[in-house]
């Protein structure tokens, strides 16, 4: 008869892990889940804490402190600095980008448009020389951020945006945030806003290849206009002052803006 080896019974000190045991794979997963749940309960419940939210006030203060001084051409106008430190830029960018709202860069806002980097907004505002009694025309509302920055520095802002959804959103955001002296309309910025002219100042946040004549006509004598002029890749920011019906020109800064669009631009001067 062949010799057959019979399996030995397990030693009394050995055992197989039971399904509920921490040594069983399923048991380990249950234990890990329980520990994670306990940790979340301790952090968010037992300690009375809530998930951290971004400190936008601190980020805005850092933006003003570090982005507007040397080695760049510093922004020093007290009113402009105060406005930049007050206006909540994160409210004017898409929610998914709010963590980057106070970074030193432009951000997309949809429809092929951007919100300019904070330094450019502050720089252009300072160069415009805003006064408390000014009525200002803005061409290119975009997100509404530039209009909000101007709002606390001048008497009234009239802003035109050619992209209808952006105009509607900016108008709603500005109203929601309490900027009552800003009026927004959808239209061709090249033509300006003749019903509300003349203006003490004009600020253009999209680049035409020449200064639109209607904007010159709607600017008061002695008024200021700041506008980027040129084709993509070769744009210069100019500050103009209206004298005797014409414009005195000062080149300020090489820039890169989205191009101005609309029927007026297509027809040309």
Query: Which tens digit of pLDDT belongs to each residue from 96-108?
Result: 999 999 999 999 9
What value does the mean pLDDT of the chain take?
Answer: 86
pLDDT digits (tens, 9 = 90+) for 211-235: 999 999 999 999 999 999 998 888 9
Q: Give the Cα-Cα-Cα angle 153, 264, 212 (nearest 5 degrees).
A: 50
At residue 11, the pLDDT reads 46
Maximum pairwise Cα distance, the chain: 126
Global pTM value: 0.79
At residue 165, the pLDDT reads 97
At residue 46, the pLDDT reads 47
Whether the CB-CB separation of 157 and 181 falls below 8 Å is answered with yes
CA distances, 136 to each of 59, 157, 210, 221 (Å): 29, 5, 20, 14
135-139/156-161 β-pairing: parallel
- Assign a CATH topology to domain 56-267: Rossmann fold (3.40.50)
Counted residue by residue, the chain has a size of: 269
Closest listed residue to residue 113, CA positions, set 145, 151, 150? 145
The domains of the chain are located at 56-267
pLDDT digits (tens, 9 = 90+) for 38-86: 665 555 554 455 556 789 999 999 999 999 887 777 899 999 999 999 9
143 is catalytic: no
Residue 176 has pLDDT above 50, yes or no: yes
Determine what percent of the chain is predicted with pLDDT higher than 90.
Answer: 69
Active-site residue among 83, 116, 143, 151?
116
Helices 118-128 and 56-67 pack at an angle, to 10 degrees, of: 60
Q: Give the Cα-Cα-Cα angle 205, 167, 98 (nearest 5 degrees).
A: 75
Whether the CB-CB separation of 201 and 176 falls below 8 Å is answered with no
> How far apart (Å, rounded) are the C-alpha atoms in residues 240 and 211?
10
pLDDT digits (tens, 9 = 90+) for 108-139: 999 999 999 999 999 999 999 999 999 999 99
Whether the CB-CB separation of 219 and 199 falls below 8 Å is answered with yes
């Amino acid at each position: 008869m062949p010799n057959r080896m019979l399996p030995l019974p397990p030693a009394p000190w050995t055992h197989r892990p039971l399904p509920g045991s921490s040594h069983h794979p399923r048991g380990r997963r249950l234990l890990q889940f329980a520990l994670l749940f306990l940790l979340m309960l301790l952090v968010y419940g037992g300690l009375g804490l809530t998930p951290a939210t971004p400190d936008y006030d601190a980020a805005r203060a850092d933006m003003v402190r570090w982005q507007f001084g040397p080695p760049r051409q510093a922004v020093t106008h007290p009113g402009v600095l105060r406005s930049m430190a007050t206006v909540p830029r994160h409210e004017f960018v898409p929610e998914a980008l709010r963590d980057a709202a106070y970074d030193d860069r432009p951000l997309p806002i949809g429809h092929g448009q951007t919100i300019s980097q904070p330094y450019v907004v502050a720089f252009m505002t300072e160069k415009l020389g805003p006064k408390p009694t000014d009525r200002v025309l803005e061409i290119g509302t975009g997100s509404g951020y530039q209009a909000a920055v101007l709002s606390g520095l001048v008497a009234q802002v009239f802003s035109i945006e050619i992209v209808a959804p952006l105009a509607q959103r900016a108008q709603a955001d500005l109203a929601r945030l309490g900027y009552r002296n800003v009026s927004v309309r959808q239209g061709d910025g090249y033509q300006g806003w003749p019903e509300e002219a003349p203006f003490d100042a004009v600020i253009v946040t999209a680049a035409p290849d020449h200064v639109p004549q209607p904007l010159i006509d709607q600017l008061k004598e002695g008024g200021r206009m700041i506008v980027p002029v040129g084709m993509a890749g070769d744009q210069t920011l100019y500050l103009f002052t209206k004298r005797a019906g014409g414009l005195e020109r000062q080149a300020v800064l090489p820039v890169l803006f989205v191009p101005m669009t609309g029927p007026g631009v297509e027809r040309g001067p």
